[in-house]
Amino acid sequence: MAAGLQVTLARLAGLLLSLFVLPCAEGGKVLVLPMEGSHWLSMRDVVQVLHTRGHQAVVVVPEVNIHFKKEDFFTMITYAVPYTQDEYIHLLKCGVPLIFAKQHFLKTFAESMTIMKNVSAFYESCCVELLHNKTLISHLNSSSFDVVLTDPVNPCGAVLAKYLNIPTVNFLRFLPCGLDSEATQCPDPPSYIPRLLTMNSDHMTFLQRVKNMLYHLPMMYICHVTLTPIVNLASELFQRDVSLKYILSHGSVWLFRGDFVLDYPKPLMPNMVFIGGINCAHRKPLPQVCIGVFVQPMFLAEYSPKEDLFN
């Protein structure tokens, strides 16, 4: 598995470099606009491989963060945000109790929307501070970057890449509301492709297909509430009305941290690539306790209750 992961990382780095490699052997410059949390932990390995191949990476992050640390294989630039570290940590933790709460669905949904609005407001404020930082934007614009590597779950990076007119590589697991399919003009029929968390398979009954269609209604509301501030900010930046689809369509390559082992087969465009193996970069042996929890039910399922398992 380790050898396979090394091959995956090497191929991924080669794919990124093919976007901006020159006839000579000089290294390129990569502007990295990552997302907080586990999103960055996967992207970090890609940045490290790019460094080993002689390329310069500049990572731009808010000064209030959790996982972004200075490393010797990239240059980190921070910008100020109107939040403290304690406020940010509290914001991230406030949604944890909802995972275990036993209450009516509508109450859980209402509380979840409140949390999403607060998180969205935080990332909007971060994006405002980044895009309105004229000194930083001028520095990035004059640095002649060859490519932007960003996670479009936080669309601010995609907005900045479009504004700077730099080829973009999107590094993600998926986007809500099918925005990844819309931006790439990829077919995404709900009658064929099961939606996330619907528990539908790729062989759906009529009612399951109806459920798949209705899934869009709450998701569109969630996306409208959480993403509209970024769209308004982008429209202000470009001084005309723009859509998120327009911003994301600037992406040259889409790297999805998934594969058909985890997801049902679906249509893909030529610039959409699955790189699911990268999630195993920091693997650890599974504890024997966990192995027993999974193996024992599978073992018992092979026998009827009346059989003696020890004879």
Q: What is the pLDDT of residues 274-296, one digit of tens each?
A: 988 776 666 677 666 555 555 55
Selected residue with higher pLDDT from 76 and 258: 76
Q: Encode 240-263: b = buried (16+ Cβ within 10 Å), e = exposed.
A: eebebeebbebbebbbbbeeeeeb
> Residue 310 pLDDT > 50, yes or no?
no
pLDDT one-digit tens code per residue, 91-131 = 777 766 666 777 777 777 777 788 788 888 888 899 999 99
In angstroms, how far is CA 99 from the centroid of its own chain?
21
Give the mean model confidence (pLDDT) for residues 7-31.
64
Q: Does residue 251 register a pLDDT over 70?
A: yes
Percent of all residues in the chain with a pLDDT value above 90, rounded to a whole number: 41
Residue 300 has pLDDT above 50, yes or no: no
pLDDT category, 222, cuts 50, 70, 90? Answer: confident
Rounded-to-integer distance, Cα 171 and Cα 255, Å: 5
Fold of 2-299: Rossmann fold (3.40.50)
Mean pLDDT of 4-29: 61
Name the percent of the chain lying above pLDDT 70: 79
Mean pLDDT for the stretch of residues 64-77:
92
Of 35-49, 107-121, 153-167, 246-260, minimum mean pLDDT range = 107-121
Domains of the chain by residue range? 2-299
Distance CA 28, CA 17 (A): 8
- Spacing of C-alpha 220 from chain mean position: 18
pTM above 0.75, yes or no: yes
> How high is the mean pLDDT of the chain?
82
Cβ atoms of residues 141 and 134 within 8 Å: no
Residue 177: burial class (beta carbons within 10 Å; 0-12, 13-18, 19+): middle
Q: What is the average pLDDT across 129-136?
A: 94
- Beta strand extents in the chain (DSSP E only): 29-33, 56-62, 75-79, 147-150, 168-172, 251-256, 272-274
- Cα 69 from chain centre: 19
No. of helices (H) and no. of strands (E), the chain: 12, 7
- AA letter at 187: P
Question: Tokens 């990844």 appear where?
Answer: 180
Q: Over the stretch 139-193, which tens digit does the pLDDT of each residue have? A: 999 999 999 999 999 999 999 999 999 999 999 988 888 899 999 999 988 878 8
The C-alpha angle 5, 267, 257, rounded to 5 degrees, equals 25
